[in-house]
Structure 1
């Protein structure tokens, strides 16, 4: 099975991608450091695959999600949530609208 994106990422995939990037940058971890931490956690994801996740070119499967959450000391649910640190919408754009800064879509009410 290919690890490349098949069609555009959905809202959850984009949330995970943005949250992983934000957390990695906040902690000043290189891709290599994340790779090493994931390997110690039992889920090896190579540097090139981590870069592809970061750019939205690779999907995160459920095993990746659980391992990434463990490495960042979060729950998988927290990685799936919209990034609340967006300066424009704070992770909650109006229903039916797309935030152009963080690409989060407001859920219909």
Structure 2
């Protein structure tokens, strides 16, 4: 697998591990780079590039910004990660894979909602 494929696959892995949406990644990435935020469709295509057969080109600046964004060493972005045999990286909506921890779209939304409804750090409810 190419380095670009590994970066794309790891982008999805690191984003999901943090419970971030593609829109959040776009916003955070733009804050780091000073560029305009990329569309959710662009992030989605970048994450799917290994499966789609089309490779997303990553610049050195992109790689450095992704390392800062996810607070990981640059080498981690190039690490070859096997696709989960349990869910193939895409569990059904509303489910979390017991093998890799990936969550389906509905589960991510429920987690975000729970976080929003949790008491704030100041002790009061939202």
Q: What TM-score results when the alignment is normalised by the length of structure 1?
A: 0.62
CA RMSD of aligned residues (A): 2.3
Match of 1:97 in 2: none
Question: In the aligned structure 2, how far is the partner of 1:43 from the partner of 1:49?
Answer: 17
Q: How has the CA–CA distance of structure 1 residues 50 and 43 changed in structure 2, closer, same or farther, with 3 Å as cutoff? A: farther
Higher helix share: 2
Match of 1:54 in 2: 47
Alpha-carbon offset, residue 49 of structure 1: 2.1
Unpaired stretches in structure 2, ≥5 consecutive residues: 90-126
Q: How many residues align?
A: 80
Equivalent of residue 12 in structure 1, options 3, 8, 15: 3
Report the structure number with the largest CA radius of gyration.
2
Residue 26 (str. 1) matches residue 17 (str. 2): yes
Residue 76 (str. 1) matches residue 67 (str. 2): no
Question: In the aligned structure 2, how far is the partner of 1:66 from the partner of 1:43?
Answer: 13
Match of 2:117 in 1: none
Unpaired stretches in structure 1, ≥5 consecutive residues: 1-9, 89-100, 103-109
